[in-house]
């Protein structure tokens, strides 16, 4: 367990300090052995070495004829050489004999190269006449052959720990005969949404009610981040109900939404403490998402996200997502990209501002950013119309043409 940061009353942490506290409290990643198909989408908890070489056997790269180079030396533009076709090597049904002088074997792509041969001549460079094959064009000795082990030898590193088992990786592993692998277990997350004013989408709504968008946002974000949602509930703003809900929730991470400000109906912080959680921080000098709350009880972590949808999303993205990534063996961090401001972007406020920006690709000069319109912490369009965000200190201006690091929303993952 990491050190506790003892936060003073009314004290506000910097973004950096808050991240440090989260890093100090990272739970240990755990892994399990799964069959390849069950492991899709997971992250490798081990380096994978090739159990066998690739290709496993020397084979043809083309449909054509397997021949002996010495037999076709005489081929020129106006002189072809005739060879006797003595059999066929198909993928999955290799030719059993040995090819001798003046002989050839019909061969398909991926089929075992017939014994005695050292070259493949493509179909289009030949002509079949009177039971023989006439070789009309040759390229080089050994052409169109894939040699055993030319891609990798047995024992070579194929994939490193932290790599995602995506479509290409799964194909590589299947091809190389890796049937079982050690992958990280997804961290188990519970979602607890608070708010008496909330109704679900599709339900009837009164004039003074609000549709709950944080529940679905968190479910989607957790799925994208590679976590498993083990529980999701919504409670009214009632102290006892909130406490009971936290008390009966067992998960690696409990994510609460709303109820962490200073209002009379904000019960999450007290409820967490009453359930035995130790507060690690509350309030960060940032906009949006100032009231973020973080606590710990044994191996369980609890985040209290602000209820405002944009604040909740930004806090999740900047603080919770890197933690989930770390539990998948990926470096604690964000997918960054450098981009040039296409106009002045300023922070005129008193807090560091996570300014949502739109990225645009310009051929030859790279990415540029522009300020996404209307950035209120209740305005979800500031997220859907943006690709990422920049963090500007109070008074900081990024001038037109200046470069700045952008935190991208998509998680391009780098192994630790």
Positions that interact with ligand AMP (CB under 6 A) = 193, 195, 197-198, 210, 212-215, 257-259, 261, 263, 306-309
304 vs 352 by CB, closer to Mg ion: 304
Q: Which stretch binds Mg ion (CB under 5 A): 105-113, 188-196, 240-248, 298-306?
A: 188-196
Q: Is 64 in the site for Mg ion (CB under 5 A)?
A: no
Binder of Mg ion out of 53, 162, 186, 195 (CB under 5 A):
195
Distance from C-alpha of 284 to C-alpha of 3, rounded to nearest angstrom? 18
55 vs 288 by CB, closer to ligand AMP: 288
89 vs 257 by CB, closer to ligand AMP: 257
3-state secondary structure of 59: strand
CB 65 within 8 A of CB 104: yes
Distance from C-alpha of 262 to C-alpha of 259, rounded to nearest angstrom? 8
CB of 292 to ligand AMP, least distance (A): 11
CB 256 within 8 A of CB 245: no
Q: Is 388 in the site for Mg ion (CB under 5 A)?
A: no
Host H or E run for residue 145: strand 145-146
Nearest Cα neighbor of 253 from 302, 315, 181 is 302
177 vs 263 by CB, closer to ligand AMP: 263
Distance from C-alpha of 237 to C-alpha of 248, rounded to nearest angstrom? 17
CA distances from 2 to 24, 170, 278, 331 (A): 5, 36, 12, 18
Nearest Cα neighbor of 260 from 181, 337, 349, 194 is 194
CB of 303 to ligand AMP, least distance (A): 13
304 vs 352 by CB, closer to ligand AMP: 304
Tell me which of Mg ion, ligand AMP, none is bound by residue 60, counting a contact when its beta carbon lies within the kind-specific cut-off of 5 to 8 angstroms.
none
CA distances from 302 to 2, 17, 92, 190, 395 (A): 15, 17, 56, 9, 33
Q: Is 307 in the site for Mg ion (CB under 5 A)?
A: yes
CB of 208 to Mg ion, least distance (A): 13
CB of 309 to ligand AMP, least distance (A): 5
CB of 268 to ligand AMP, least distance (A): 9
Tell me which of Mg ion, ligand AMP, none is bound by residue 198, counting a contact when its beta carbon lies within the kind-specific cut-off of 5 to 8 angstroms.
ligand AMP
Q: Is 306 in the site for Mg ion (CB under 5 A)?
A: no
Spell out the long-range contacts of 284-287 with Cβ–Cβ below 8 A and sequence spacing 24 or more: 284/12, 284/13, 284/14, 284/15, 284/18, 285/12, 285/13, 285/14, 285/15, 285/351, 285/352, 286/15, 286/351, 286/352, 286/353, 286/354, 286/391, 287/349, 287/351, 287/352, 287/353, 287/354, 287/377
b/e per residue 387-416 (b: at least 16 CB within 10 A): bbbbbbeeebebeeeeebebbbbebebeee
Q: Is 279 in the site for Mg ion (CB under 5 A)?
A: no
Tell me which of Mg ion, ligand AMP, none is bound by residue 51, counting a contact when its beta carbon lies within the kind-specific cut-off of 5 to 8 angstroms.
none
Distance from C-alpha of 227 to C-alpha of 189, rounded to nearest angstrom? 7
CB of 269 to Mg ion, least distance (A): 12
147 vs 378 by CB, closer to ligand AMP: 378
Tell me which of ligand AMP, Mg ion, none is bound by residue 213, counting a contact when its beta carbon lies within the kind-specific cut-off of 5 to 8 angstroms.
ligand AMP
CB-closest chain residue to Mg ion: 258
CB of 259 to Mg ion, least distance (A): 5
259 vs 329 by CB, closer to ligand AMP: 259
64 vs 306 by CB, closer to ligand AMP: 306
Q: Is 162 in the site for Mg ion (CB under 5 A)?
A: no
Q: What are phi and psi of 233, to 5 degrees?
A: -140, 160
Q: Tell me which residues in 249-278 interact with Mg ion (CB under 5 A).
A: 258-259
Q: Is 329 in the site for Mg ion (CB under 5 A)?
A: no
Tell me which of Mg ion, ligand AMP, none is bound by residue 261, counting a contact when its beta carbon lies within the kind-specific cut-off of 5 to 8 angstroms.
ligand AMP
162 vs 309 by CB, closer to ligand AMP: 309
CA atoms within 13 A on the CB side of 16: 3
Tell me which of ligand AMP, Mg ion, none is bound by residue 55, counting a contact when its beta carbon lies within the kind-specific cut-off of 5 to 8 angstroms.
none
CB-closest chain residue to ligand AMP: 307
CB of 262 to Mg ion, least distance (A): 12
Strands 366-371 and 119-122: unpaired
Residues of the shown chain interacting with Mg ion in the complex, contacts defined by CB under 5 A: 195, 258-259, 307
């Amino acid at each position: 367990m990491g050190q506790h940061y003892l936060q003073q009353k009314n004290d506000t942490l910097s973004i950096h300090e808050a991240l440090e506290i989260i890093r100090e409290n990272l739970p240990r990643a755990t892994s399990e052995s799964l069959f390849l198909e069950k492991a899709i989408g997971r992250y490798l908890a081990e380096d994978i070495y090739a159990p066998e070489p690739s290709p496993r056997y020397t084979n043809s790269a083309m449909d054509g004829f397997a021949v002996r180079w010495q037999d076709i030396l005489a081929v020129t533009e106006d002189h072809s050489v005739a060879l006797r076709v003595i059999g066929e090597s198909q993928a999955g049904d290799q030719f059993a004999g040995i090819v001798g002088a003046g002989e050839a074997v019909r061969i398909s792509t991926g089929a075992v190269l017939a014994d005695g041969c050292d070259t493949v001549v493509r179909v289009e460079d030949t002509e079949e006449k009177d039971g023989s094959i006439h070789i009309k064009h040759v390229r080089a000795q050994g052409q169109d052959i894939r040699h055993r082990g030319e891609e990798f030898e047995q024992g070579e590193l194929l994939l490193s720990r932290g790599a995602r088992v995506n479509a290409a990786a799964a194909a590589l592993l299947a091809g190389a005969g890796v049937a079982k692998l050690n992958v990280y277990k997804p961290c188990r997350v519970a979602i607890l949404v608070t708010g008496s004013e909330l109704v679900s989408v599709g339900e009837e709504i009164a004039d003074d009610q609000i549709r709950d968008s944080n529940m679905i946002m968190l479910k989607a974000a957790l799925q994208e981040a590679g976590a498993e949602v083990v529980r999701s509930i919504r409670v009214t703003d009632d102290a006892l109900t909130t406490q009971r809900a936290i008390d009966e929730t067992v998960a690696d991470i409990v994510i609460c939404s709303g109820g962490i400000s200073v209002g009379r109906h904000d019960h999450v912080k007290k409820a967490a403490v009453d359930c035995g959680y130790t507060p690690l921080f509350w309030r960060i000098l940032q906009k949006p998402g100032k009231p973020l709350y973080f606590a710990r009880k044994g191996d369980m972590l609890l985040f209290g996200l602000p209820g405002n949808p944009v604040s909740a999303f930004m806090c999740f993205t900047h603080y919770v997502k890197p933690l989930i990534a770390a539990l998948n063996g990926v470096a604690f961090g964000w997918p960054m990209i450098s981009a040039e401001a296409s106009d002045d972007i300023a922070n005129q406020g008193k807090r560091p501002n996570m300014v949502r920006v739109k990225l645009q690709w310009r051929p030859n000069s790279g990415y540029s950013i522009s300020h996404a319109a209307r950035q209120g912490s209740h305005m979800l369009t500031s997220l859907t119309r943006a690709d990422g965000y920049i963090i500007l200190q109070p008074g900081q201006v990024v001038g037109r043409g200046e470069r700045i690091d952008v935190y991208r929303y998509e998680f391009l993952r780098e192994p630790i």
